[in-house]
């Protein structure tokens, strides 16, 4: 089963950006974690990151056309991008929204995600472990691997 792990703006700066909030795991380490977890679970994991909203929209359209599952950290776009939300609503496969930090314990403007209403589930505040959990959920849901 193909799973796209898609990451929005500033996530390429993991390990150097606000380590007190996002931790010291680098983006390269996150990619390795996702790919290795996917391999263990029998998933074909493709990890991508962009700071360009139109690029994320294209990837979501690609996933929708394929019927693929998506693990999405929309980052700042969570809070205001109706375009990202609408692209997520087109997905035919499951969508797990992931946030490294607990968005509900941060600034008030981060408390609401426009994406959550169209997500299968939401994981937030568990650091990069949230990605592992999302992949385990998808593998269990589809009977893949050893989840």
Detail the residues annotated as belonging to a binding site for substrate.
Answer: 73, 79, 86, 100-101, 110
- Which residues are part of a known binding site? 73, 79, 86, 100-101, 110
- Which of 4, 27, 99, 137 is an active site residue? 99
DSSP secondary structure string, 54-119? HHHHHHHHHHHHHT-EEEEE-GGGGGT-HHHHHHHHT-SS-EEEEESS-GGGS-GGGS--SSGGG-
Q: 136 catalytic, yes or no? A: no
Q: 4 catalytic, yes or no? A: no
- Which of 4, 22, 27, 131 is an active site residue? 22
Task: Report the distance separating Cα 76 and Cα 114, nearest Å.
Answer: 11
Catalytic residues: 22, 99
């Amino acid at each position: 089963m193909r799973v796209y792990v898609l990451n929005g703006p500033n996530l390429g700066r993991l390990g150097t950006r606000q380590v007190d909030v996002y931790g010291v795991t680098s983006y390269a380490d996150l990619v390795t974690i996702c790919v290795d977890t996917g391999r263990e679970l029998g998933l074909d994991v493709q990890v991508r990151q962009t700071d360009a909203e139109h690029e994320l929209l294209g990837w979501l359209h690609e996933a929708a056309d394929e019927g693929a599952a998506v693990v999405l950290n929309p980052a700042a776009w969570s809070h205001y991008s109706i375009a990202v939300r609408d692209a997520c609503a087109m997905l035919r496969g499951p969508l797990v929204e992931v946030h490294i930090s607990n968005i509900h314990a941060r600034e008030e403007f981060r408390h609401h995600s426009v994406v959550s209403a169209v997500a299968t589930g939401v994981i937030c505040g568990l650091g990069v472990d949230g990605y592992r959990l999302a992949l385990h959920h998808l593998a269990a849901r589809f009977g893949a691997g050893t989840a």
